[in-house]
Chains A and B, each alone.
Chain A
Amino acid sequence: MRARARIARKVPGAIPVFALGLVVIAALGGDWLAPYDPGAQDLANTAMPPSGAHWLGTDDLGRDVLSRLVSGARIALLGPAVVAIGVAVLATVIGLLAGYRGGWVDSAIMRGVDLVYAVPPLLVAIVVVGVFGGGYPLAIGVLIALSVPADVRMVRSAVLAQRNLAYVESARTVGVGRGRILFTHLLPNVLPTVVANLLLTFVSALVGLAALAFLGLGVGTGAPDWGRMLAENKGMLDLNPAAMAAPAVLITVVAASVTLIGDRVYDRMAARGRDVGRA
C-alpha cells in the first residue's frame, strides 16, 4: 500500500476533480442541461459529423450525441455508486467482524471468501445476466456479491494489523466494550483502506456496467447509456467517429479521474494515522 504512487500529487490536482465535477453536474442537471431531447430522432440528419448545431454530431437515428451523453451521465454514475457503497458497507462490516472476532466466525467467513475471491466478477455477470436476463438490477447485484470478497480480505487484513496493537489491547484492558472498540478505535484506522477500495470498486463497476451495456446485456435499448452508445455507434465509425469516440473518452476520463482522486485521498488519510504500528 505504501507503494501506492504518490504521483497523483504531482499531477495538477485540479484536473481530475474538475473533470469529475463536470460529469456530476451533467448527472444532476440531466435532460435539463442537454441542448436537445436525447430521444428525438431526426432521420434527415443521421450520422452527421460534428457541427455548430451538433457539437458531437448525430447518431444513425439523427439523435444528438452530446445530449445523449449528458442525459446518460446520471445512470452512468448512479449504478457504480450503488455498487461501490454497497460493497464498502458489506465488506467493512464483514471484514471488521472476521478480523476482530477471529475464531470460527473468521474461519467460516474466510472459507467463503477464498472460494469466491478469484472469480472474475465481470465474466460471471456476463453469464448470469445473459442467461437469466435480469438486466441492470441483476448486474448490480452480481457485481456487489462478487466484489465483496476481495474487499473483505483487505479490510480484514487491515483489522488484523491493528487488532494486536497496544492501543486496542489497552482499550480492552481498560474495559471498553467490543462494539466501541470496533467502531471508535478500529474503524477510523481502517477507513483509508475502505475509502480507497470504495473508489476502486466504483471504477471497476463503471467499466463493468458499461461493458455489459456494450455487449448488449445491460439497460434496455432506447435509454441513453454510454456503454450502449459505444455499441450502437460502432457501425458508423467512418461517418461520425465522434459519436463513438466521445462516450469511450468519457468513460475513460471518469474512470481515470476517480482512480487519481482515490489515490490521493488514500495518501492523505493514511498520512494522518501515519505512525500507527511504526515499530
Chain B
Amino acid sequence: MLDVRELTVHDGRSRPLVRGVSFSVGPGETVGLVGESGSGKSLTARALVSLLPPGLRAGGSALLAGKELVGAKGLRGVRGHAVSLLMQDPFTMLNPLTTIGTHILESLPGRGSRAEVLRRLAEVGITDPAVAARFPFQLSGGMRQRVALAAALAKDPGLLIADEPTTALDVTTQAEVLALLRRLQVERQMGLVLITHDLRVARSACDRVLVMYAGALVESAPSGELDKPAHPYTSGLLRSVPSATHRQPVLLGIPGSVPAAADVADRCPFADRCTWVEDACTDHAPPLVDLGDRSTACRRHDEIDLGHVGDDDVDPTVRVAVGDTLLDVVDVVKTYRSTGFRPTSFTALEGVSLHVTEGESLAVVGESGSGKTTLARTVLGLTDATEGRITLGGVDVTSYRRLRKAQRAQARRLVQCVFQDPYSSLNPAHTIGYALTEALRQRTATDLATEVDELLDLVGLPTSYAKRLPAALSGGQRQRVAIARALAVRPRLLVCDEPVAALDVSVQAQVLEVLRKANRELGIALLFITHDLAVARQVTDRVVVMHRGRIVEHGPTAEVLDAPTHPYTARLVASIPGTAPRTGGETHVAQ
C-alpha cells in the first residue's frame, strides 16, 4: 500500500537530516519506526504527508496506492482521505478556540451530522455526548488524544501515521491509547506507521520494527525476531532498556552520544560508538543488506555475534537498610491556595508519611498529579508543607524559612537534588567549572580545582569539561554535571526527581550507573522519584507508590513489582509496555 523508496530530507543548507529511507506498509500492517532524538523518525513521518517544517525539503519517492506523495502539489484529497497523521502532544494538537464536536465535524467527509460526530467519538471510547460541546482545555490528555484520533480517522484513511502518540501521556493512559490504536487498526484493516522512541512499545504493538539512527535506517526486522538483533546499535538499544522484572548487575548503555545526521552522512553513523568498528566502517555509508525477512546496515553483520538479548545476568543481592533514620516525613499535607478574586485550593499531598534510612535507596513511584514532585520539593525546602513534620538528620526542617541560618546551612549540606530537565539544570551563562566550584565553596575553600577534577572524574566526564559552557554538552552529560554538583556538597541524601525521564534510553544507563555508584560506594541515600517502574527496579531497594496525593502501597521494590497488592499498583505494573499480550482488544477505558 505505502511504498517508500530512498526518502531523504535536507535542510536549507542542503545538509542531510534523513537519508535514503526505504520501507513499505501493507493494509492492516503495523510498522514501528524506532529511534532516539535526532534519528529523523519524525521528519520521515512529516515528509510522508508533505508537512515538513519550513525550510526543509524532501526527496526520493513514497507511493501510496500508486500516488506519489513526495514533492506532490495538491495533496488535498490525499491527506486525511488516504493518509492521516496523529501527533505527539495532545495539549497542542487541538484548536484551543473550538469545541470537540467542531473538530470532528469539520474533519468528516461531506456534510457530517451530529449523530455521526457522536458515533465517531464513541468509536474512540468517548460515550458521553456532552464531551462534544466541551473545549479541549476542559479535557485530560488521554481524552484529547482520543479526540485527535477520532479527528484523524474521520475521513477513513487507509494509512495512519502516529508520531509518538502516547509519549506525552501517563503510563496507564499510554497503555489504553495504544490498545485503542491497535483495536481500530485491526477493525478498519488500516495500515499503521507507529513512530516511537520506546523499543518496548514498538515490539509489543508492531508487526515489523524499523530502527533509525542519526538520519539513517540501520535495521528492519519482524518484531518477534528483534531479540536477535543484526545491527550493533539495535543490540545496544535493546540492552539499554532497563528490565522491569529483575535487577541487572550492570546497566548497559551505549557510550558516547548521538551525532548529528549531517556529520555522519558518508560513513556508518554508529561507528564512533560501536565496539566492532574497523577502518572500513568510516569509508562510506554502508547500504542496507537484505537478509530475507530482515535487513541490516552493518557491513560486518555476518562476522560479529550480537547474541541473544534477554539472557543477561541477575543481580541477586537483596539490600536491606540497617542504620539510623535519615529522613522522616510524618503526615505531610500540602495544599496550594490561589488567593484572589475566586480563591481555589488544590491538595497535592494528603497526609504522606515515609522514612529513608542512612545509605538506603527509596523509590517514589507515581503518575503526573500523584504529588511525587511536591513531596520532593517539601523535602528540599523549596516549598513549605501545610501540615505535618519533616525531620532530616535529627533537625526539624518542616519549614526552611523558620530555621536559623546555621541550621539551614546544616540542612542544606545534608540533602541535595537532581532535577528532570537537563537543559535548565545548569545556568547557561556559567561554565561547568563555575557551577561545581560554587557548590564546593559551600563546603570547603581549599583545593577547589583538584576537587572539580575529582568530581568530573566521579561522574565519568573528562576534566577538560570544566572550561565548557553547558550549551556544549549533551543532555546526559549535563545531567551528570548536575549530579556532580549535588555530590560536591557531600550530602547524605540525594533527591532525584525523574533524573533520566528526559534522556534518550541509550544514555540513561550512564546516568543511572553514576547514581547507583553514589548510593552503593559513597553510601549516599537516594530518594528517587520516577514514573518508570523499570528504572525504579534498577536503582532502588524500597518503593512507595503514590496516587492522588496518598501513598497506596510500599515495600521492597522487588516484592511490590512482582506481586502488587493495591489495584492501582497492579494497573501500573500491567501498563509497562511489553508486558501486555501482543494482540487483544482494549482492556480498560477510563472516562
Which A residues fall within an 8 A CB radius of B? 165-167, 169-176, 184-185, 188-189, 272-279
Q: Given A174-B489, A274-B471, A279-B502, A169–B428 Cβ distance below 8 Å?
A: no
Whether B429 is near chain A, meaning CB under 8 Å from some CB there, is: yes
In the assembled complex, which residues on chain B have CB atoms less than 8 Å from the CB atom of A188?
427, 429-430
Determine whether the beta carbon of A166 is less than 8 Å from that of B424.
Answer: yes
Determine whether the beta carbon of A277 is less than 8 Å from that of B442.
Answer: no
CA distance A188 to B430 in the complex (A): 9
Whether B277 is near chain A, meaning CB under 8 Å from some CB there, is: no
Contact of A272 among B419, B423, B424, B428 (CB under 8 A): B428
Whether B526 is near chain A, meaning CB under 8 Å from some CB there, is: no
Q: How far is the CB of A162 from chain B (nearest CB, A)?
A: 9
Determine whether the beta carbon of B486 is less than 8 Å from that of A170.
Answer: yes
Whether B415 is near chain A, meaning CB under 8 Å from some CB there, is: yes
Whether B457 is near chain A, meaning CB under 8 Å from some CB there, is: no
Please encode chain B, from 420 to 447, with 1 for each CB lying within 8 Å of some chain A CB and 0 for all others: 1101111111100000001100100000
CA distance A185 to B417 in the complex (A): 18
Determine whether the beta carbon of B382 is less than 8 Å from that of A173.
Answer: yes
Q: How far is the CB of A14 from chain B (nearest CB, A)?
A: 25
In the assembled complex, which residues on chain B have CB atoms less than 8 Å from the CB atom of A166?
419-421, 424-425, 482
Whether B57 is near chain A, meaning CB under 8 Å from some CB there, is: no
Q: Given A188-B429, A189-B428, A279-B502, A171–B420 Cβ distance below 8 Å?
A: no
In the assembled complex, which residues on chain B have CB atoms less than 8 Å from the CB atom of A278?
421, 423-424
Determine whether the beta carbon of A175 is less than 8 Å from that of B413.
Answer: yes
Determine whether the beta carbon of B424 is less than 8 Å from that of A276.
Answer: yes
CA distance A277 to B488 in the complex (A): 24
Please encode chain B, from 472 to 514, with 1 for each CB lying within 8 Å of some chain A CB and 0 for all others: 0000000000100110110000000000001000000000000
In the assembled complex, which residues on chain B have CB atoms less than 8 Å from the CB atom of A272?
428-429
Determine whether the beta carbon of A170 is less than 8 Å from that of B417.
Answer: yes
Q: What are 11 A-B contacts defined by CB distance under 8 Å?
A: A166-B482, A169-B419, A171-B427, A172-B382, A189-B428, A273-B429, A274-B428, A274-B471, A275-B428, A275-B470, A279-B502
Determine whether the beta carbon of B489 is less than 8 Å from that of A175.
Answer: yes
Contact of A173 among B415, B427, B429 (CB under 8 A): B415
Summarize A's interface: helix, strand, loop or mixed: helix
Q: How far is the CB of B273 from chain A (nearest CB, A)?
A: 24
Whether B409 is near chain A, meaning CB under 8 Å from some CB there, is: yes
Determine whether the beta carbon of B442 is less than 8 Å from that of A167.
Answer: no
In the assembled complex, which residues on chain A have CB atoms less than 8 Å from the CB atom of B409?
175
Determine whether the beta carbon of B416 is less than 8 Å from that of A173.
Answer: yes
Q: How far is the CB of B519 from chain A (nearest CB, A)?
A: 18
Q: Given A189-B429, A274-B471, A174–B442 Cβ distance below 8 Å?
A: yes
Q: Given A273-B429, A278-B424, A279-B421, A170–B489 Cβ distance below 8 Å?
A: no
Q: How far is the CB of A102 from chain B (nearest CB, A)?
A: 11
In the assembled complex, which residues on chain A have CB atoms less than 8 Å from the CB atom of B471?
274-275
Contact of A175 among B420, B425, B428, B442 (CB under 8 A): B442
Determine whether the beta carbon of A174 is less than 8 Å from that of B416.
Answer: yes
Whether B17 is near chain A, meaning CB under 8 Å from some CB there, is: no
In the assembled complex, which residues on chain A have CB atoms less than 8 Å from the CB atom of B442?
174-176
Whether B380 is near chain A, meaning CB under 8 Å from some CB there, is: yes
Determine whether the beta carbon of B412 is less than 8 Å from that of A175.
Answer: yes
CA distance A184 to B412 in the complex (A): 20
Q: Given A170-B482, A173-B417, A275–B382 Cβ distance below 8 Å?
A: no
In the assembled complex, which residues on chain A have CB atoms less than 8 Å from the CB atom of B381?
173
CA distance A175 to B489 in the complex (A): 9
A sample of 5 more A-B contacts (CB under 8 A), given A167-B427, A279-B423, is: A165-B425, A166-B421, A175-B409, A273-B429, A279-B502
Determine whether the beta carbon of A165 is less than 8 Å from that of B424.
Answer: yes
In the assembled complex, which residues on chain A have CB atoms less than 8 Å from the CB atom of B488?
174
CA distance A169 to B381 in the complex (A): 10
Minimal Cβ-Cβ distance residue in B for A276? B428
Give the residue among A167, A173, A175, A276 with the most B Cβ atoms within 10 A.
A173
Determine whether the beta carbon of B425 is less than 8 Å from that of A170.
Answer: yes
Minimal Cβ-Cβ distance residue in B for A168? B427
Determine whether the beta carbon of B424 is less than 8 Å from that of A167.
Answer: yes
Give the residue among A165, A174, A275 with the most B Cβ atoms within 10 A.
A174
In the assembled complex, which residues on chain B have CB atoms less than 8 Å from the CB atom of A274?
428, 471
Q: How far is the CB of B489 from chain A (nearest CB, A)?
A: 6
CA distance A159 to B428 in the complex (A): 15
In the assembled complex, which residues on chain B have CB atoms less than 8 Å from the CB atom of A172?
382
Instruction: List B166-219 residues whose CB lies under 8 Å from chain A.
Output: none
CA distance A185 to B416 in the complex (A): 18
CA distance A166 to B482 in the complex (A): 10
Determine whether the beta carbon of A171 is less than 8 Å from that of B423.
Answer: no
